[in-house]
């Protein structure tokens, strides 16, 4: 893609901010003016609405006690379902196909245990060698539970360059031995966006069920899961959705699979009208709500309520439009200002293949990240050599991006990084 930036001055960055239609949404968040926050792809900022809804749920406990399950403005018993319509709009699904529940890892286990049903020669699961570790750990666990050796039955599509996975290579690996595919929507290191629609169509043409881990895309890019006929998906809500640290996650199940008994059932898998009959025979819910297992985590859901209100103030298409523009602006600045300083952009250059964060490689990535923090810029480090920078559409400014690139330049030119050791933190 050609550069969009002709003027690399600070004044031009300020002009972009002045014309940014999403700029007012920054005021919805608690933004530290002395800090440039570029780690929203790991943990989004807290919003003022999230703070409010957190206190509202605490107040409901104080006011209603146990009756809060059925009384008050937001009865707890129905809270996950009450948010499904708002969440479904972000992933291109019907409300009944989405439920707010669990965590990323527990939802992988729930969905894979449901949809991985090996029969005959179809015993293998497909992933990629660049997947986030939790996905691989869960798939290995599910294979072992079914009596299969993960070394033999987990196919990991290899990368040609260590950064990206080609869709052609994924499709070529869709053999008659594959029963299930779980892929990331966006690769967590390089920010590559996979073509979900194409991969779903190719999998179904071969009789294979397919699902996606949308942790690094939901809230940043549009999805059309139902139109694409994706079988299932899951995602966390604390990155681009700003739902708070350790916040409850979400999942999607295509309505064509409704009525299937989930692989992991519990009290909340029940039809709501039957749940308190206390029968030992499960009447399974006929929506994605069936994939809940236990009691919803009310105070983990609470911040998400406020955050989803902010997403209703715009559209996911407008968010994507700014995300692409501001990330392209950052790429242009990097190419202009950081030449010869050892930085390499690892993202796909084509907008259609790029998620919401910039993947910047450098041999001194660990020390650069420490120096960035010393300069009041919050980045993200990923082993072995990646500085991840997320210009989040809802609250990052073009001026933030301009200043960050100048700091990245100074860190190398002035050898600021040499003041730090090469040991990464326990949490990177």
pLDDT digit string, tens, across residues 358-371: 999 999 999 999 99
* Count of helices and strands (H, E) across the chain: 14, 13
What does DSSP say about strands 232-235 and 250-253: parallel, antiparallel, or unpaired? antiparallel
> Does the annotation place 267 within a ligand binding site?
yes
Q: Give the model's pLDDT for residue 59.
A: 97
Within a domain: 355:
yes
The token duo for 273 is 């009208």
Asked whether the predicted pLDDT for residue 421 surpasses 80, the reply is yes
Within a domain: 424:
no
CA distances in angstroms from 350 to 1, 146, 222, 328, 346, listed in the order given? 6, 40, 17, 10, 12
d(CA 87, CA 241): 10
d(CA 181, CA 426): 31
Give the confidence band of 278 by pLDDT, cuts at 50, 70, 90: confident
Domain assignment of residue 68, given as a range: 52-311
Question: Within this chain, do residues 109 and 253 fall inside the same structural domain, yes or no?
Answer: yes
Within a domain: 91:
yes
> Does the annotation place 280 within a ligand binding site?
no
Within a domain: 44:
no
Q: The domain spanning residue 393 has which CATH number?
A: 3.90.1150.10
> Does the annotation place 133 within a ligand binding site?
yes
Within a domain: 19:
yes
> Does the annotation place 351 within a ligand binding site?
no
Cβ atoms within 10 Å of 265's Cβ, excluding its own: 17
Residue with tokens 């929506």: 287
Rounded to a whole number, what is the largest CA-CA distance in the chain?
70
Q: What angle do CA 199, 308, 291 make, to 5 degrees?
A: 55
Judge if the upstream peptide bond of residue 384 is cis by omega within 30 degrees of 0.
Answer: yes
| 190: phi then psi, degrees, rounded to nearest 5 | -85, -15
> Does the annotation place 238 within a ligand binding site?
yes
What does DSSP say about strands 98-100 and 250-253: parallel, antiparallel, or unpaired? antiparallel
- Number of domains, the chain: 2
| 100: phi then psi, degrees, rounded to nearest 5 | -90, 115
| 178: phi then psi, degrees, rounded to nearest 5 | -90, 125
Question: Within this chain, do residues 64 and 164 fall inside the same structural domain, yes or no?
Answer: yes
Question: Within this chain, do residues 409 and 305 fall inside the same structural domain, yes or no?
Answer: no
Question: Within this chain, do residues 278 and 341 fall inside the same structural domain, yes or no?
Answer: no
> Does the annotation place 104 within a ligand binding site?
yes
What percent of the chain stands above pLDDT 90?
94
Q: Give the model's pLDDT for residue 274.
A: 87
Examine the fold and report which residue of 295, 311, 327 is the final residue of a domain before the chain moves on: 311
Question: Within this chain, do residues 410 and 262 fall inside the same structural domain, yes or no?
Answer: no
| 280: phi then psi, degrees, rounded to nearest 5 | -90, 0
Within a domain: 81:
yes
Mean pLDDT of the chain: 96
Q: Give the model's pLDDT for residue 272.
A: 84
> Does the annotation place 228 within a ligand binding site?
no
> Does the annotation place 105 within a ligand binding site?
yes
Residue among 389, 213, 236, 393 at smallest CA distance from 320: 393
Question: Within this chain, do residues 289 and 332 fall inside the same structural domain, yes or no?
Answer: no
Question: Within this chain, do residues 348 and 296 fall inside the same structural domain, yes or no?
Answer: no
Q: Return the minimum-mean-pLDDT range out of 217-221, 298-302, 382-386, 420-424.
A: 420-424
Question: Within this chain, do residues 98 and 226 fall inside the same structural domain, yes or no?
Answer: yes
String of DSSP letters for 108-141: HHHHHHHH---BTTB-EEEEETTS-HHHHHHHHH
Question: Within this chain, do residues 136 and 156 fall inside the same structural domain, yes or no?
Answer: yes
> Does the annotation place 216 within a ligand binding site?
yes
Within a domain: 252:
yes
Question: Within this chain, do residues 20 and 110 fall inside the same structural domain, yes or no?
Answer: no
Conformational region of residue 70, where left means phi above 0, alpha means psi within -120 to 50, and beta covers everything else: alpha
d(CA 193, CA 195): 7
Give the confidence band of 259 by pLDDT, cuts at 50, 70, 90: very high
| 169: phi then psi, degrees, rounded to nearest 5 | -70, -35
Question: Within this chain, do residues 330 and 219 fall inside the same structural domain, yes or no?
Answer: no
Asked whether the predicted pLDDT for residue 1 surpasses 70, the reply is no
Q: Give the model's pLDDT for residue 426.
A: 63
Examine the fold and report which residue of 257, 289, 311 is the final residue of a domain before the chain moves on: 311
String of DSSP letters for 32-90: -TT-EE-BTTTSPPPBHHHHHHHHHHHHHHHHHGGGGGTSSSS-GGGHHHHTHHHHHHH
Q: The domain spanning residue 307 has which CATH number?
A: 3.40.640.10
Examine the fold and report which residue of 311, 334, 355 is the final residue of a domain before the chain moves on: 311
Question: Within this chain, do residues 170 and 129 fall inside the same structural domain, yes or no?
Answer: yes
Does residue 281 contact residue 271 with C-beta atoms inside 8 Å?
no
Does residue 52 contact residue 58 with C-beta atoms inside 8 Å?
no
| pLDDT tens sequence across 300-355 | 999 999 999 999 999 999 999 999 999 999 999 999 999 999 999 999 999 999 99
């Amino acid at each position: 893609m050609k550069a969009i930036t002709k003027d690399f001055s600070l004044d031009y960055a300020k002009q972009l901010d002045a014309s940014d239609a999403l700029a007012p949404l920054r005021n919805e968040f608690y933004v530290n003016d002395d800090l440039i926050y570029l780690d929203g792809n790991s943990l989004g900022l807290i919003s003022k609405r999230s703070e409010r809804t957190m206190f509202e749920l605490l107040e409901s406990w104080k006011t209603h006690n146990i009756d809060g399950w059925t009384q008050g403005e937001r009865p707890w018993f129905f809270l996950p379902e009450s948010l499904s319509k708002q969440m479904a709009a972000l992933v291109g699904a019907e409300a009944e196909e989405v439920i707010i529940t669990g965590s990323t890892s527990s939802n992988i286990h729930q969905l894979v245990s449901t949809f991985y049903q090996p029969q005959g020669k179809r015993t293998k699961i497909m992933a990629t060698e660049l997947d986030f570790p939790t996905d691989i750990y869960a798939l290995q666990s599910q294979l072992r539970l079914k009596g299969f050796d993960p070394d033999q039955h987990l196919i990991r599509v290899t990368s040609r360059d260590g950064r990206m996975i080609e869709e052609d290579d994924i499709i070529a690996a869709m053999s008659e031995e594959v029963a299930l595919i779980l892929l990331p929507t966006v690769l967590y290191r390089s920010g590559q966006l996979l073509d979900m629609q194409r991969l779903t169509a190719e999998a179904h043409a071969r009789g294979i069920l397919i699902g996606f881990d949308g942790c690094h895309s939901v809230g940043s890019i549009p999805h059309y899961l139902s139109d694409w006929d994706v079988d299932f998906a899951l995602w966390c809500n604390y990155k681009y959705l700003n739902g708070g640290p350790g916040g409850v996650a979400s999942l999607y199940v295509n309505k064509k699979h409704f009525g299937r008994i989930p692989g992991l059932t519990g009290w909340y898998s029940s039809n709501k009208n039957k749940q308190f009959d206390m029968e030992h025979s499960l009447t399974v819910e006929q929506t994605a709500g069936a994939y809940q297992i236990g009691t919803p985590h009310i105070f983990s859901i609470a911040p998400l309520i406020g955050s989803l209100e902010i997403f209703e103030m715009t559209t996911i298409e407008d968010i994507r439009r700014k995300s692409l523009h501001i990330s392209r602006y950052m790429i242009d600045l990097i190419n202009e200002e950081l030449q010869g300083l050892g930085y390499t952009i690892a993202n796909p250059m084509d907008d259609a293949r790029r998620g919401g964060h910039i993947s910047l490689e450098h041999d001194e990535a660990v020390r650069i990240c420490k120096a960035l923090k010393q300069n009041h810029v919050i980045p993200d480090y990923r082993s072995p050599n990646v500085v991840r920078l997320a210009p989040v559409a809802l609250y990052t400014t073009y001026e933030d991006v301009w200043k960050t690139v100048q700091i990245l330049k100074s860190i190398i030119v002035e050898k600021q990084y040499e003041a730090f050791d090469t040991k990464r933190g326990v949490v990177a």
